[in-house]
Structure 1
Amino acid sequence: MFAIIDIESSGGNPKKDRITEIAIFIHDGEKVTEQYCTLINPETYISPFITALTGITNEMVAEAPRFEEVADEIDSLTKGCVFVAHNVRFDYSFVANEFKRIGRRYQRKNLCTVRLSRALLPDLYSYSLGRLCEQVGIPVEHRHRAFGDGAATAELFNVLLQNDTYAIIQDALKDEIKQSILPPHLRREQLEDLPEETGIYYFRDERGKILYIGKSNNIRQRIISHFSGDMNTEKYHTLKQKIHSITYELTGNELVALLLESHEIKRWMPAYNQSQRRKKYRYGIYKETDALGYENLKISLLKLEGEPLFAVGSKRGAESILESLAEKHKLCLKKCDMEHNNETCSFHDIDVCEGACAALEDAVAYNEKLKIALIKYQYDNPDFVIVGEGRSPVERAVICVENGQYLGYGFFDEATEQSYNFDQLKELVKPFPDHPDLHKIIRSFIKKNKKGQQVVYR
């Protein structure tokens, strides 16, 4: 059975915007057998732009049922059905997030009529719903309303079924969890019940001991990919034989998942995790100013000095980093703790160093080069929080760094914390141990400036 669905919404972001109308057409593979349509009160403002596009006004939805009032009917009507839509990720994400908002999970197989149309009706000039229907002779009434677009999609689905001489639709619906790829001691239901959400997951043995920890923006899909393709080596074949259960923890966004994954790997040291196992860093890179005003970098054992610019696992690793920085930014090897003789440095001899070792380069200019070189290893401001998506559409996550130290993360209800004040948000954070690996993750995320995250400085 297929549930052909179209929704209208208050905007284009399924995590923030809300459904204003939904239409469902139940199809048995030959014809539509049942249909359902209702306006939905989105409990948010519908902008004039959206009203101009859909014709749905704030007045029209004021007395309509809220999603939670029709959720049971939608869930029951589509249970056991394949979720079909034109650009299915859009409609499916909105429906799944509406269920998530009321504390329920909604999980269905997906089928996209855009992708199917490209495969079964090649060489058309456009695959937008309106243009596509025009090309295959399907009339569309009430465009950009859920019932009109849904009815057109149902007619299009009939056309696709008629043209599917090579069973492309059936291939698209093939069981993604083949029994042959499952670990022998893992129940199929465990995989089927995994969420399609962001978080970390644990592979455990028969006693519950953690064998492996991973993270993903889609836990279910990532774990299926592990078993279907990632575990072809002898080592991972052995892991597969040992897995008896899978547990997970949702994090809401990728940054929290990365931080928690790194913390948990160091905490439990799973045998099958190779990276991020280092618990302690032995060396630090420190900065000091000499008598001529040049800022020098120094490699030293941690705890022998004050706070380092950043920590490094080994002395050789520190030397490799400093040599690379010196070459890229034309720094002096002597002032990077790499050479200690009375001569000019070897980089000066090949015109890389611009003469700081012989006091030929202005100290202010040299220090500015060093500052630029160190940007990737330091924060612009040592006190900040990062606010991002939470585990539900009404929740936000907060990650806190104070005095350059990672304090931890927490979650809060968006409705209760309207102002993002550093000190208030800091109080919401659950404490976690600091570690240099975590700062690499945080700096990388800030640099990427990912959509949906906000950095708040003290």
Structure 2
Amino acid sequence: MKDLKFAITDIETTGSGIKGNKITEICVIIVQNGEVIDEYSSLVNPSQEIPLYIESLTGINDEMVSNAPCFSEIADEVEKITKDCIFVAHNVNFDYNIIRSEFTGLDRQFKRKRLCTVRLTKKLIPGLFSYSLGNICTSINIPHIDRHRAKGDCDATVTLFQRCLSLDPEFEVIEKLLNQKTAASYLPPNFKSSDFEKLPTSTGVYFFKDKDGRPLYIGKAKNIKSRIKSHFQERSNRKYKLMQETYSIDYELTGNELLALLRESELILKFYPKFNKAQKKVSRPYTLTSYHNQKGVEQFALHKNKIAPVSWMKFYTRVEAIKFLEYLCQEFELCPKYCGLQPSGKVCDHYRITTCSGVCKNEINIDEYNARVEKAVEYIGKYDESCLLLEKGRTSEEKSFIYLNKGKYAGYGYIGPADDFNHPEEFKNFLTPSKTSSYADRIVNRYLNTKKNLSKIPLKTEEEELAETELWFG
């Protein structure tokens, strides 16, 4: 183990992300048995303009690299000097992935075992205020000359690595880091692998948090641990920046996907995390209305931008609306022509629905047909009723409920086997009130329209309860 060669590497690039980022300078210093045995460094022509903010940070400008070799011209040298070495860098995934991306662009592979000096230093020199290279060097008196240049940063990293070797003479910590088989090799530099192992495999919402505990990103998952691991393994610029700012990950179990979706939406609106894409403004919904046409037939219609005197239901996509109307046609033997499912014509000729009762052909009485429409409207009314939607809880013994007040999401709660819940009205003892939103409306509507075998408990509205109370007490 002590005879291993370590390729201490540092690069400067055209940006701070991973994708589309090109190398402008590289330095590789080989260390074996604690001593420097080889070195390579070069400016690199990135074949693209260097942004002004990068030039200000590194001092490397377009003129300096104009006559420098492209990466394709130094790839063999990088391949040769790092061969049979452990690839070492401060925040190793950044340098390693960009170098590997450069090789991929040449249709070549670059694969090395990796070791991160951020993680190594955290293990061997715990308790520092910051583990950025500059702050570590200041804290433990390591010379750091020519910061943000590949040679200067690489020299400082070599000295830091030699200091770590002296603290780990038997390579116990290094060997453990090299042999990690889990997602730990992809972990953010400031996140503990032990914390990752504690993450649950259950359904819920999760929070990436910064060093002050503020949410950076909020998501939902059926399997929280698996989903977070997939975040670690993504290589987009956005995810890379998120990983650099993540110090902890918190979670909230929900027991089911419906509540996870609702809580995710609610929490994003509460905290507006910087790495969540802004929730798109939900477009104006399709409104299902009805009216008596010239023949006296009660006819359904969809409107998106009109104010309708009668509004039975709302849909947030036309596909959902059409699917629901087709169900009404089949379930209540309505006419596709009078449900807005086909262009105007003398008779209906819907490609799929063959259960039309024949009102379009004058085969049944209009009053009889309108009575069927009335039953369909009664069916629709169940979507606006106050009720509890019952779902799985966080444990096998527990159940969760989602409270809908007049069809609108108003809160949630959990009921255990020992909880006293003999009457539906007692749910308020377990309720966590929540604010509704257009996002929550959409989530609930989709659930009601697609969920088979709904488990639901009807409730009286607050107005109905108040009316009953007034009647009782006179």
For the superposition of Structure 1 and Structure 2, which TM-score range results when normalised by the shorter chain? 0.3 to 0.5
